[in-house]
Chain A
Amino acid sequence: MNSQSIKKLILGASLAAMALMLFATLRETIFVEYRFHQKRYRKMLIELAETPEEKEAAKAYPIEMRQLVLPQLGRTDRCISCHAGIEDPRMVDAAAPLVYHPHGLLETHDIRQMGCTVCHDGQGLATTKDDAHANEIRFWESLRLKDDLTQANCLRCHHVESLPGAATLQKGRALFAENGCLGCHKKDNVGGFLGPDLTTIGDASFHLKTPQGKDRKTIINEFDHNLNLAYLFESVKTPSLEPGDSIMPDNEFSDEEAHALAVYMKSFQTRKVPDALQNFDKHLPQPTGRALYMEFCAACHGKKGEGAPLPEHDKQGPSLAGYGFQSIATLDFITKMVTESGSALMPNWGKSGGLSPKQIETVSQYVLTLREPAPDPEPDYVGRIDYGKIRFESRCAGCHGIGGDYEIDLIGPTLSSPEFLTFASPAFLTRTIVEGRADTAMPKWDFLRDREIKDMVAYLARPRNVTPSLAAMQAAAKQPDAAKQGTHVFRSRCGSCHGVSAEGGIGSSLNTSEFLGLASDAFIHKTVTEGRRGTAMGAWSHLSAKELGRILAYLRAFPQGTVRSPAGKAVASESKGRINFERTCVACHGSDGRGLIGPAIGNHDFLDAVDDQFLRETIRYGRMGTAMRSNLKGTGSFASFSEHEVEEIIAYMRTLRDQPFVTFGQAVTQGDIPLGRERFARNCAQCHGAFGGGGAGPAVGRPGFLATVSDGFMEGTIANGRSGTEMRSFAHGRGSLTELSEHEIRSIVSTLRSQEDVKHQSDKLVLGTASRGAELYRGQCAQCHGTQTDEGFAPRLLNPKFLDAASDSYLQATMSLGHGSTMRSMIRGGSGVVEMTGRDINDIIQYLRDVF
């Protein structure tokens, strides 16, 4: 290369360099995009000017780079360099970029405070359209949003609830909440863990998250080249695309729905706006239980609690609506499981899941309302004993034994003992079946058809033998030694409550002349054979005519009083009677005569058995040997009623006949709680568990039991025991090892009713053989529930949190009853597939308890 060519090269290169620099200079000073727009705007301003001054001002409109410096936001937006007319209402019809901001939004959004990019995204610092909108520039993160896509950024300052006009957002939010997205995904530290955290999914830049499908170009164009939105759209529309092993279920959203969801989810971003500029409504209502359920639970448990498959995990989200769960789950169990399930799949909502205790309570309560509706009542149906027997044997015999007979190792109590049946009125049985007994393995059977329940009740309450008629009773009473034999019968059958000499005890005194004078044979017959509901007086219909006759003869052997008051129906004002009744009688007989220390007289059992004369006589002259004193003016000690006032009271009492029985679960007994506690601990706790928490015998101290029984039921059972079971009679004079006085029995009942010690009860009531249970578990349960090391198809049982929340009775009931469609009934006579006895079940529970 000679000097000349080198010189030419230098010249050429230098000229080229200079030309390039000139080009750069021109590009930067003359051919600047915003200069053209601003010049056009100036021209329009001049045209719009009406006065010469305005025209001068318009002409002086400077052409320059314009920017909004927003120190609060840490942004600088140069958008107004091109969008020069954005604040000028006169530009309403101008073409972009000079057009006035649509929808008048700048009236509420101060552009000098907020700038542009906080709502629209894009590169505020850029000064050319391509760079600022950035939709085709692959470098920068923040692409300008247009049309309804912009709504995503509204949530930087507003709650979605306070933006009813933002249709796309509203729709997206609704879809997001209704499809249980947060069951798997987290947002702002609230949500599950199976899916990726979505808190900042709207921040994700395009080259990290892009659509993968064949039609991705279409989607990308659809979203104005915003790959982030396109990605969100695709991931909700076709979750299987990215990543390939995604376990996210396909919710089969339409394009429109996926679009709305994408826009809503685009708002999941790190905070970009300082408090001062935010406009969040601080007084939003707390989400309802349903809202919480749909948002956090529905994805796995189904929108109606029907359960849902969890793909890839070969698992099923357990159903919550089915009777297998609803019949036995308590609020406490649900709350505990929701708070901390300890499961590998279910988040610990109260811990890492981010729900507040209040929210957990709300949603747990909602879960209990998911219960499938109970079948319609069939009022015309009359229960059939033969059907009932079959139903009992398929539904109940697993726990209660065939025929309800006693057997060792049964989970449920014996139902066939006469002492039980004396109390077990059809109403009591129906109620216990329908409502179950909380805290025990007795579920709520309200999912059964009305006829099934009626059949069962008919079967259980069937007459075991033909109740002797009044005539037969009277005939037997006339036998020669009836009265003498009656002494023994009375002592063994009635003495535990009414006293060995009928002087009274838990039951009223029967040996008074006042009573005997009034009580007709029919009254005695009716009361003995039908009992008095809600009291310790059961229906002794199983007594033979001979026994009844002897009892009658025994009673008639006492001096029979004379009746002093006139016979005849009372005719007087009920309302006046009510005043005196409530002023005087309720002190002993309880409000509405439901019974307190005095007998329950406000029910048709009693009122049907007595005539007005009986009442009149009793009210006027009282009953010797009891607390019932005479009340007639001149003789009265409590009150002094006129004869007419007594008539009024009787008239009022007759109105009480039809009031419903609500004696279950009500405390009517007043005893000495410390005494009762001591007596219970000494006599009852061995079987019924400390403080009645349950053990070999039923958990009599639990609310579930107490709610279904009356005080009389408990008193009577303590007094009489239950033949054929371990429960013996404790009443005075029955020759038991332990004899409790009337007061002691009442005190025990009061102690249990008081529920003062309920917190000391242990949840663990089952005693079994763990080693045997381990074998049974391996054989019957491990296949689905897995072992300590392996996950199974079904929820993991060897999970300390689950075992902590689930009581023994919950486990018993689930094994007996089954759960949903996959968990079969495991008890004999249940599904017929696995025939475990109560003992087997208890052993398994013991094993589970011993693992941890």
Chain B
Amino acid sequence: MKHGPMRSGFAELIANLRALPGNVMASVNRSSTASSTRGRSQSVFGNVFLHIHSVRTHRWTLRPRFTMGLGVAAGMLFLMLVVSGAVLMIHYVPSVDGAYNSVKNIHFVVPGGRVIRNLHRWAAYAMVVAVFLHMVRVFYTNSYKKPREFNWVIGVILFVLTLALAFTGYCLPWDQLAYWAITIGANIAGSPAEVTDAIGITDTIDIGGFQKLLMLGSNSVGESALLRFYWGHCVVLPLAVVMFLAVHFWRIRKDGGLSRPDDIRDEELEGTPSEALAEEVFQPETKSYGLMCLVKDRTPAVNRGPERTVLSWPHVLRVEVAIAMVLLAAMLLLALFIDAPLKEFANPAVPENPAKAPWYFLAMQEIISYSAFTGGMVLPGITVLMLMLIPFLDRREGGTGRWFGMPGDRKLAGVTAIVMAVTVVAMLTFTITVGWLRDWFPDTNQILITAVNPGTVLAGFVTILTLGALAITGSTRKSAIVFFTCFLVSFVILTYFALIHRGPNWDFYWWPSMWPTH
């Protein structure tokens, strides 16, 4: 001040410059550097990304054996896919003439392109696995129960979207794999014609044709189909995933964090991070209600103490970062040493034999091999619908938050798995050795085959088991376990079977090396 306005102005500028990093950080974080517990809390709820987490997280959530980090892993893989995908998008040319060569260019001359493409592919596969296992975890820990029903539904939708993303991406290199995968997909979309043809109304209502046209944008697999897959893979599906993920995460918080049992014993929490505050109970009058008191509903953590919770930062974040870094290292390792498949340039004249779908669709393809409509649309549709309905059909409380939380759950799941495994293997053995309707009566009406084939027989068996369990145990939860276990086991076995034991013409082979490779 004493040196006049000009001098003081410079001094202020210099002071501001000196304080620049701190102020920028503070403005970003909406608070000062987090050194205190309060500061850390404020950092979390003052940061849109960190505020995905609640400020405090229950120690139960941090038990590794409970979540196995699968949800976080799936999310992290999605993040990796978004980043690597964005890089690939710069170099990829979504046209029939350009796609294949652009992928080769990515492999050979784009700096880092080969690693990034490989990583994108392996991370996509890993994400499918992670999402699937995450669903298995949520089911067997009984975590879809009220109030988390809707988040389970969102989860199932995200599972379907993940598969859709993986499939659309699989088709983009426009090699033989891509071309024939799209062709199979289009045939599945067109499969309602199986039924409409059989009853002779295809000329009037051609549902299959419409679906196929919708998918391909043309009558044949070509430029427009590729563009649609590109558009789906890079714009629509990622946006949808982001939106549903936002809801998914938000609902975790709104539904009170991850599920946990009401009767947690202290010894069960051993090994999870703890802090002094964790056991302290606040007095109700110290809480302010804010806006929450104006609405009449369940409120998050209002009127409750920390209750064995720890601060999300650093405990949860640290685990998340660890999962992310381990996954990144693993994916890099894969990406560096195993190249993503790229076959010949798509050649409509030379069908792949067998033209196998990507592995996560192979269970579906196995039942499609009997009837495209049943295997490709009806059964998957019913399965997804049933998965979504589980939390609404089974509302029995209890056992939430623990693997096989109710007595007998584990045993039931085990027995069901064995029964179902035997049934699926027997069914496959039967169809391979004895055949099916068409082999015995070549003139069998397609409607009959669409209705009665190994896929529907298995579905019928699952229905009987599920309803039988309901009748015997009288518990919707037990019934749900039977249904889900059947789904899980048949999905895994069929996938394995189609991956390893199906060869050219979808014939049975003990090992791929025994293929006649026609």
Contacts and interface: CB of A to CB of B under 8 A. Distances in A.
Interface of A: 1-3, 6-7, 9-10, 13-14, 16-17, 20-21, 23-25, 27-28, 65, 74, 76, 78, 123, 125-128, 131, 139-142, 200, 203-205, 207-210, 212, 242-243
B99 to A, nearest CB: 13
Given A17-B329, A208-B518, 18 more contacts: A6-B318, A7-B318, A10-B322, A14-B329, A16-B329, A16-B332, A24-B336, A27-B336, A28-B114, A139-B344, A140-B342, A205-B176, A205-B350, A208-B353, A210-B517, A212-B516, A212-B517, A243-B518
A123 B111 contact: no
B404 to A, nearest CB: 23
Interface in B340-371: 341-345, 347, 349-350, 352-353
Interface stretch (B26-34, B102-110, B464-472, B489-497): B102-110
A354 B42 CA distance: 83
Interface residues of B, number: 41
A208 B350 contact: yes
A17 B518 contact: no
Contacts of B339: 139
Contacts of A205: 176, 343-344, 347, 350
B64 interface: yes
Contacts of A141: 343-345
A253 B273 CA distance: 78
A3 B101 contact: no
A142 B101 CA distance: 14
Contact of A28 (B112, B314, B328): B112
Contacts of A200: 349
A13 B347 CA distance: 42
A501 B271 CA distance: 148
19 contacts: A3-B314, A9-B322, A10-B322, A13-B325, A13-B328, A16-B333, A17-B328, A17-B329, A125-B109, A126-B104, A139-B342, A139-B343, A140-B342, A140-B344, A207-B352, A208-B517, A210-B517, A212-B516, A242-B518
A23 B112 CA distance: 11
B243 interface: no
Given A203-B347, A204-B350, A10 B332 contact: no
Interface in B298-353: 314-315, 318-319, 321-322, 325-326, 328-329, 332-333, 336, 339, 341-345, 347, 349-350, 352-353
A69 to B, nearest CB: 12
B115 interface: yes
Residue among A16, A203, A243 facing the most chain B CB atoms (10 A cut-off): A16
A28 B111 contact: yes
B332 A21 contact: yes
Contact of A10 (B104, B325, B341, B349): B325
Nearest to A231: B517
Contacts of A21: 332
A368 B352 CA distance: 47
A24 B101 contact: no
B321 A10 contact: yes
B108 A78 contact: yes
Interface in B77-134: 97, 101, 104-105, 108-109, 111-112, 114-115
A127 B343 CA distance: 17
Residue among A3, A200, A208 facing the most chain B CB atoms (10 A cut-off): A208
A209 B518 contact: yes
Nearest to A210: B517
Looking at chain A's contact residues, is the secondary structure mostly helix, strand, loop, or mixed? loop
A92 B517 CA distance: 42
A6 B62 CA distance: 12
B343 A76 contact: no
B104 A125 contact: yes
A125 B64 contact: no
Contacts of B352: 207-208
A24 B112 contact: yes
A17 B333 CA distance: 8
Residue among A65, A74, A125, A243 facing the most chain B CB atoms (10 A cut-off): A125
Q: Which 3 A-B pairs have the closest CB atoms?
A: A141-B344, A13-B325, A20-B332
B109 A65 contact: yes
A20 B334 CA distance: 10
A6 B518 contact: no
Nearest to B319: A6
Given A28-B112, A140-B342, A203 B350 contact: yes
Contacts of B273: 2-3
A127 B108 contact: yes
Contact of A20 (B101, B333, B347): B333
B379 to A, nearest CB: 30
Given A17-B329, A76-B101, A10 B318 contact: yes
Contacts of A17: 325, 328-329, 332
Interface string B245-281: 0000000000000000000000000010100000000
B66 to A, nearest CB: 12
Nearest to B332: A20
Contact of A125 (B101, B111, B112): B101
B343 to A, nearest CB: 6
Contacts of B111: 28
Nearest to B104: A125
A135 to B, nearest CB: 15
Contacts of A139: 339, 341-344
A401 B320 CA distance: 109
Residue among B111, B273, B344, B516 facing the most chain A CB atoms (10 A cut-off): B344
Interface in B134-154: none
A33 to B, nearest CB: 11
Contacts of A20: 329, 332-333, 336
A45 B518 CA distance: 50
Contacts of A126: 104, 108
B342 to A, nearest CB: 5
Contacts of B328: 13, 17
A241 to B, nearest CB: 10
A242 B516 CA distance: 9
Nearest to B62: A1
Contacts of A25: 112
Given A6-B319, A13-B322, A207-B517, A1 B333 contact: no
A3 to B, nearest CB: 6
A446 to B, nearest CB: 51
B92 to A, nearest CB: 15
Interface string B496-518: 00000000000000000000111
A76 B108 CA distance: 12
Nearest to B175: A139
A1 B115 contact: no
Contact of B104 (A7, A123, A207, A242): A123
A678 to B, nearest CB: 63
A66 to B, nearest CB: 11
B176 to A, nearest CB: 8
Contacts of B347: 203, 205
Contacts of A140: 342-344
A13 B318 contact: no
B311 to A, nearest CB: 12
B345 A24 contact: no
Contacts of B344: 139-142, 205
A439 B379 CA distance: 71
A3 B319 CA distance: 9
Nearest to A14: B325
A709 B332 CA distance: 96
A23 B518 CA distance: 40
Contacts of B336: 20, 23-24, 27
Contacts of B115: 24
A141 B318 CA distance: 47
A25 B332 CA distance: 12
Nearest to A126: B108
Given A10-B321, A243-B518, A3 B342 contact: no
A2 to B, nearest CB: 7
A27 B115 CA distance: 11
